[in-house]
A and B are shown apart, each in its own frame.
Chain A
Amino acid sequence: MERIPILKLGEFLLVSIQVDMHDQLAISLQDDLTAKIVATSAKGVLIDISALDIVDSFIGRMLGNIAGMSRILDAETVVVGMQPSVAITLVELGLSLPGIRTAFNIDRGMDLLRDSVAERQENQRVLNEPD
Chain B
Amino acid sequence: MFVFSLKQPLFARIRNEFPDDAQRLADETWRATLLIDRLGLETTTAFIKSREEIIRRQQQELLEISTPVVRLWEGILALPLIGTLDSSRMQIVMQNLLEAIVSQSATIAIIDITGVPTVDTLAAQHLLKTVAAARLMGADCIISGIRPQIAQTIIHLGVDLTAVITKATLADAFQIALRRLQNKTVTLKNTESV
Q: Which residues of A contact B (CB under 8 A)?
A: 79-80, 82-84, 86-88, 90-92, 96-97, 102-105, 108-109, 111, 114-115
B137/A115 in contact, CB under 8 A:
no
A91/B138 in contact, CB under 8 A:
no
Tell me if B53 is interfacial: C-beta within 8 Å of chain A. no
Taking the closest CB of chain A, its distance from the CB of B90, in whole angstroms, is 11
Taking the closest CB of chain A, its distance from the CB of B185, in whole angstroms, is 11
Tell me if B166 is interfacial: C-beta within 8 Å of chain A. no
A105/B188 in contact, CB under 8 A:
no
Taking the closest CB of chain A, its distance from the CB of B139, in whole angstroms, is 7
Tell me if B101 is interfacial: C-beta within 8 Å of chain A. yes
Taking the closest CB of chain A, its distance from the CB of B14, in whole angstroms, is 66
Residues of chain A within 8 A of B107, CB atoms compared? 104, 108
Q: Hey, what's the 0/1 contact readout for B111-140 against A, CB within 8 Å counting as 1?
A: 000000000000000000100111111110
Give the dominant DSSP class at A's interface. Answer: helix
Q: Which of B94, B105, B106, B137 contacts A102 (CB 8 A)?
A: B137
Taking the closest CB of chain A, its distance from the CB of B135, in whole angstroms, is 6
Tell me if B98 is interfacial: C-beta within 8 Å of chain A. yes
B138/A104 in contact, CB under 8 A:
yes
CA separation between A92 and B107, bound complex, in Å? 22
B129/A92 in contact, CB under 8 A:
yes
Interface size on B, as a range, is 20 to 34
Give the dominant DSSP class at B's interface. Answer: helix
Q: Which of A102, A105, A115 contacts B187 (CB 8 A)?
A: A115
The residue in chain B whose Cβ has the minimal distance to the Cβ of A86 is B136
B134/A87 in contact, CB under 8 A:
yes
Taking the closest CB of chain A, its distance from the CB of B107, in whole angstroms, is 7
Residues of chain B within 8 A of A83, CB atoms compared? 102
A82-B136, A96-B132, A104-B106 known, 4 other contacts, Cβ within 8 Å: A84-B99, A87-B137, A96-B135, A111-B188
Taking the closest CB of chain B, its distance from the CB of A58, in whole angstroms, is 17
Residues of chain B within 8 A of A102, CB atoms compared? 135-138
Tell me if B95 is interfacial: C-beta within 8 Å of chain A. yes
CA separation between A105 and B101, bound complex, in Å? 11
The residue in chain A whose Cβ has the minimal distance to the Cβ of B106 is A104
Q: Hey, what's the 0/1 contact readout for B69-113 against A, CB within 8 Å counting as 1?
A: 000000000000000000000000011001101100111000000
Q: Tell which of B102, B105, B134, B138 has the most Cβ of chain A within 10 Å.
A: B138
The residue in chain A whose Cβ has the minimal distance to the Cβ of B75 is A104
The residue in chain A whose Cβ has the minimal distance to the Cβ of B96 is A84
28 sampled A-B residue pairs with Cβ under 8 A? A79-B136, A80-B138, A83-B102, A84-B95, A84-B102, A84-B137, A87-B98, A87-B133, A87-B134, A87-B136, A88-B95, A88-B98, A88-B133, A90-B133, A91-B136, A92-B129, A97-B136, A102-B135, A102-B136, A103-B138, A104-B105, A104-B107, A104-B138, A104-B139, A105-B138, A108-B107, A111-B188, A115-B187
